[in-house]
Amino acid sequence: MDEHHGEDGLELPAADPQGRPYVGTARVTETTRQRLVSRTCGWCGETVPYTGKGRPPKYCSKAHRNRAWEVRSAAARLEADREAGAAAADGEPVREVIRETVTRTATRSARVEVPRPYPVERPARPGKAREVEEYLDQVAAAVRRGDIGHYDHRRLLRSVRAVLAAIDATYPGGLERLRG
Protein backbone atom coordinates (compact mmCIF):
# COMPACT_ATOMS: atom_id res chain seq x y z
CA MET A 1 0.00 0.00 0.00
CA ASP A 2 1.29 3.34 -1.10
CA GLU A 3 1.67 5.92 1.58
CA HIS A 4 2.66 9.46 1.37
CA HIS A 5 3.88 11.68 4.11
CA GLY A 6 1.82 14.72 4.93
CA GLU A 7 3.20 18.09 5.79
CA ASP A 8 2.85 17.40 9.45
CA GLY A 9 4.61 14.06 9.24
CA LEU A 10 1.51 11.92 9.58
CA GLU A 11 1.68 8.70 7.61
CA LEU A 12 -1.42 8.69 5.39
CA PRO A 13 -2.62 5.79 3.24
CA ALA A 14 -2.63 6.42 -0.55
CA ALA A 15 -6.06 4.77 -1.04
CA ASP A 16 -9.28 4.38 0.87
CA PRO A 17 -10.32 1.02 2.42
CA GLN A 18 -12.07 0.11 -0.87
CA GLY A 19 -8.84 0.60 -2.77
CA ARG A 20 -9.80 3.87 -4.44
CA PRO A 21 -6.79 6.20 -4.53
CA TYR A 22 -7.00 9.46 -2.68
CA VAL A 23 -6.68 12.61 -4.80
CA GLY A 24 -5.29 16.01 -3.82
CA THR A 25 -3.71 16.83 -0.55
CA ALA A 26 -5.04 15.49 2.65
CA ARG A 27 -6.89 17.88 4.97
CA VAL A 28 -5.73 17.22 8.42
CA THR A 29 -7.90 18.34 11.27
CA GLU A 30 -6.45 18.32 14.69
CA THR A 31 -8.38 18.59 17.89
CA THR A 32 -6.53 19.16 21.04
CA ARG A 33 -8.17 18.35 24.34
CA GLN A 34 -6.51 19.42 27.47
CA ARG A 35 -7.12 17.93 30.81
CA LEU A 36 -5.79 19.23 34.04
CA VAL A 37 -3.64 16.58 35.63
CA SER A 38 -2.11 18.48 38.51
CA ARG A 39 -1.34 21.95 39.75
CA THR A 40 0.98 23.31 42.36
CA CYS A 41 -0.08 24.33 45.85
CA GLY A 42 -0.62 28.08 46.10
CA TRP A 43 1.28 28.11 49.39
CA CYS A 44 4.17 25.65 49.25
CA GLY A 45 4.43 24.94 45.51
CA GLU A 46 4.13 21.20 45.92
CA THR A 47 2.44 19.34 43.09
CA VAL A 48 -1.18 18.50 43.88
CA PRO A 49 -2.67 15.81 41.60
CA TYR A 50 -6.14 16.45 40.20
CA THR A 51 -8.50 13.51 39.81
CA GLY A 52 -10.67 15.32 37.30
CA LYS A 53 -13.66 15.43 39.59
CA GLY A 54 -14.90 18.61 41.23
CA ARG A 55 -13.04 21.88 41.52
CA PRO A 56 -9.28 21.55 41.10
CA PRO A 57 -7.54 21.99 44.44
CA LYS A 58 -5.60 25.22 44.93
CA TYR A 59 -3.68 23.96 47.91
CA CYS A 60 -2.13 20.69 48.96
CA SER A 61 -3.75 20.75 52.36
CA LYS A 62 -6.25 22.50 54.53
CA ALA A 63 -3.39 23.96 56.59
CA HIS A 64 -1.89 25.64 53.52
CA ARG A 65 -5.29 26.89 52.44
CA ASN A 66 -5.69 28.52 55.88
CA ARG A 67 -2.23 30.07 55.81
CA ALA A 68 -2.81 31.55 52.40
CA TRP A 69 -6.12 32.94 53.60
CA GLU A 70 -4.45 34.47 56.66
CA VAL A 71 -1.90 36.22 54.45
CA ARG A 72 -4.59 37.49 52.08
CA SER A 73 -6.75 38.80 54.90
CA ALA A 74 -3.74 40.42 56.59
CA ALA A 75 -2.84 42.07 53.29
CA ALA A 76 -6.42 43.32 52.99
CA ARG A 77 -6.29 44.78 56.51
CA LEU A 78 -2.96 46.41 55.74
CA GLU A 79 -4.38 47.95 52.59
CA ALA A 80 -7.42 49.22 54.51
CA ASP A 81 -5.19 50.70 57.20
CA ARG A 82 -3.03 52.39 54.60
CA GLU A 83 -6.06 53.96 52.99
CA ALA A 84 -7.17 55.16 56.42
CA GLY A 85 -3.69 56.50 57.10
CA ALA A 86 -3.23 54.14 60.03
CA ALA A 87 -0.39 52.19 58.40
CA ALA A 88 2.83 53.31 56.76
CA ALA A 89 2.90 53.31 52.99
CA ASP A 90 4.60 50.46 51.20
CA GLY A 91 8.28 51.11 50.69
CA GLU A 92 8.42 53.69 53.42
CA PRO A 93 11.61 53.07 55.35
CA VAL A 94 11.44 52.08 58.99
CA ARG A 95 12.81 54.90 61.04
CA GLU A 96 14.88 54.28 64.11
CA VAL A 97 15.44 56.71 66.92
CA ILE A 98 18.64 56.06 68.78
CA ARG A 99 19.12 57.88 72.02
CA GLU A 100 22.68 58.09 73.14
CA THR A 101 23.41 58.61 76.78
CA VAL A 102 26.94 59.53 77.68
CA THR A 103 27.85 59.33 81.34
CA ARG A 104 30.97 61.15 82.34
CA THR A 105 32.53 60.23 85.63
CA ALA A 106 35.16 62.56 87.01
CA THR A 107 37.34 61.32 89.81
CA ARG A 108 39.40 63.84 91.69
CA SER A 109 41.73 63.47 94.59
CA ALA A 110 42.24 66.03 97.30
CA ARG A 111 45.07 66.08 99.79
CA VAL A 112 43.72 66.19 103.29
CA GLU A 113 45.99 67.17 106.12
CA VAL A 114 45.38 64.86 109.05
CA PRO A 115 46.62 66.50 112.24
CA ARG A 116 48.98 64.33 114.19
CA PRO A 117 48.30 64.00 117.87
CA TYR A 118 51.91 64.98 118.55
CA PRO A 119 54.01 66.94 116.11
CA VAL A 120 56.98 64.72 116.79
CA GLU A 121 59.34 63.85 113.99
CA ARG A 122 60.74 60.90 115.83
CA PRO A 123 60.03 59.39 119.21
CA ALA A 124 61.99 60.89 122.04
CA ARG A 125 64.67 58.63 123.36
CA PRO A 126 64.11 57.98 127.09
CA GLY A 127 67.81 58.41 127.87
CA LYS A 128 68.01 61.84 126.24
CA ALA A 129 66.77 64.41 128.77
CA ARG A 130 66.34 67.19 126.17
CA GLU A 131 64.26 64.96 123.95
CA VAL A 132 62.14 63.78 126.88
CA GLU A 133 61.74 67.37 128.05
CA GLU A 134 60.59 68.48 124.63
CA TYR A 135 58.35 65.48 124.35
CA LEU A 136 56.69 66.09 127.68
CA ASP A 137 56.17 69.75 126.74
CA GLN A 138 54.38 68.55 123.64
CA VAL A 139 52.32 66.18 125.73
CA ALA A 140 51.28 69.09 127.94
CA ALA A 141 50.32 71.13 124.87
CA ALA A 142 48.33 68.20 123.47
CA VAL A 143 46.44 67.86 126.76
CA ARG A 144 45.65 71.58 126.75
CA ARG A 145 44.45 71.43 123.16
CA GLY A 146 42.20 68.55 124.11
CA ASP A 147 43.99 66.17 121.77
CA ILE A 148 44.16 63.75 124.69
CA GLY A 149 40.68 63.26 126.02
CA HIS A 150 39.80 63.39 129.73
CA TYR A 151 39.13 59.67 129.69
CA ASP A 152 42.86 59.20 129.04
CA HIS A 153 44.02 61.63 131.74
CA ARG A 154 44.11 58.96 134.43
CA ARG A 155 46.60 56.76 132.58
CA LEU A 156 48.66 59.85 131.77
CA LEU A 157 48.69 60.81 135.46
CA ARG A 158 49.88 57.30 136.34
CA SER A 159 52.83 57.66 133.96
CA VAL A 160 53.70 61.15 135.25
CA ARG A 161 53.55 59.91 138.86
CA ALA A 162 55.84 57.02 137.93
CA VAL A 163 58.34 59.52 136.50
CA LEU A 164 58.06 61.71 139.64
CA ALA A 165 58.50 58.64 141.87
CA ALA A 166 61.60 57.61 139.90
CA ILE A 167 63.10 61.08 140.29
CA ASP A 168 62.20 61.13 144.00
CA ALA A 169 63.93 57.81 144.41
CA THR A 170 67.08 58.73 142.55
CA TYR A 171 67.72 62.42 143.06
CA PRO A 172 69.88 63.07 146.14
CA GLY A 173 67.48 64.32 148.77
CA GLY A 174 64.47 63.36 146.75
CA LEU A 175 61.84 65.59 145.15
CA GLU A 176 61.67 67.97 148.09
CA ARG A 177 65.32 68.81 147.64
CA LEU A 178 64.88 69.21 143.90
CA ARG A 179 61.93 71.60 144.30
CA GLY A 180 63.63 73.66 146.95
For Zn ion, the binding residues (CB under 5 A) are: 41, 43-44, 46, 60, 64
10 Å CB burial of residue 59 (0-12, 13-18, 19+) is buried
42/87 with CB nearer Zn ion: 42
- Phi and psi for 122 in degrees, rounded to 5? -145, 155
User: How far apart are CB 61 and Zn ion at their closest, in Å?
Assistant: 6
43/124 with CB nearer Zn ion: 43
Question: What is the DSSP code (8-state) at residue 53?
Answer: S
In sequence order, what are the residues at sequence separation of 6 or more whose Cβ sits closer than 8 angstroms to the Cβ of residue 4? 12, 14
61/138 with CB nearer Zn ion: 61
12/41 with CB nearer Zn ion: 41
CB atoms under 10 Å from CB of 41, counted, come to: 17
User: How far apart are CB 37 and Zn ion at their closest, in Å?
Assistant: 17
User: How far apart are CB 39 and Zn ion at their closest, in Å?
Assistant: 11
User: How far apart are CB 51 and Zn ion at their closest, in Å?
Assistant: 17
CB atoms under 10 Å from CB of 125, counted, come to: 11
User: How far apart are CB 53 and Zn ion at their closest, in Å?
Assistant: 20
Q: Give me Rg for the CA atoms of the chain.
A: 61
Tell me how far CA of residue 89 lies from CA of 81, 84, 95, in angstroms.
9, 11, 13
51/66 with CB nearer Zn ion: 66
